[in-house]
Amino acid sequence: MNASFPDSAANSLGRSRARTALIVVDVQNGFIDGGGLPVKGGAEVVPVINRLASVFENIVITQDWHPPGHASFAVNHAGRSPYEMATMPYGEQVLWPVHCVQGTEDAALHKDLHLPTAQLIIRKGFHPGIDSYSAFEEADRKTSTGLAAYLHARGIDTVYVTGLATDFCVAWTALDARTAGFTAFVIEDATRAIDLDGSLDKAWAQMAAQGVGRIQSAELIG
């Protein structure tokens, strides 16, 4: 497929399908109702992302992939509770409920997510002592996932980010995409947020300041 996306101010920088990628962030059971770290309305992104997939040649999926003893889990810090802050060697860290443990059903992609043309799965957060929100770089801001090099090697210059959660892994992915030199958009209705103490508004402000576009799926698929 070599057709261009529909005309839109929001996607005018990403017309060529061959140079554009859809990044689907952490649409896993762990972030859906009943999961270890449920995001309100998380399952609602699945049909939107499935529709979006039909207009992208290049699709990348990410998965949180934590060992049981991961440093971001509150249970691994004596006397600490989920959603408290802790100081790690790499900076401040939210302590989370146990979620997306490697090889468990909680870590599996949602059963209704249908992305048969996806070409790459990035698993992140597998280093025991470092969390990893971004698809591009872990929370120590030093350890690369290799995604930027992969996309650059493919000639991709524009990414559209979807998935869970807007204010954490989606935002960090979009911001790091900009740092790595990509044009980046977040498709708002294909994301859902945790919104921890105002984190959603803060994330949108940070993304706007760094030139991340904020669009709706209808601007790509009608």
**For this structure, is 124 an active site residue?**
yes
Give one DSSP letter per residue of 7-28, joined into a string: P-TTTTT---GGGEEEEEE--B
How far apart CA 69 and CA 178 sit, in angstroms, is 32
Phi and psi based region of residue 37 (left: phi greater than 0; alpha: psi -120 to 50; beta: remaining): beta
C-alpha angle 100-127-194 in degrees, rounded to nearest 5: 40
How far apart CA 146 and CA 41 sit, in angstroms, is 30
Supply 185's token pair: 């958009």
Instruction: Given the residues 106, 124, 131, 176, select the one marked as catalytic.
Output: 124
**For this structure, is 100 an active site residue?**
no
Torsion angle, CA of 132/137/142/143, rounded to 10 degrees?
70
**For this structure, is 202 an active site residue?**
no
How far apart CA 180 and CA 92 sit, in angstroms, is 23
C-alpha angle 116-148-166 in degrees, rounded to nearest 5: 70
Instruction: Given the residues 64, 131, 167, 169, select the one marked as catalytic.
Output: 169
Which H or E element spans position 122? strand 120-124
Instruction: Given the residues 26, 106, 131, 176, select the one marked as catalytic.
Output: 26
Active site residues: 26, 124, 169
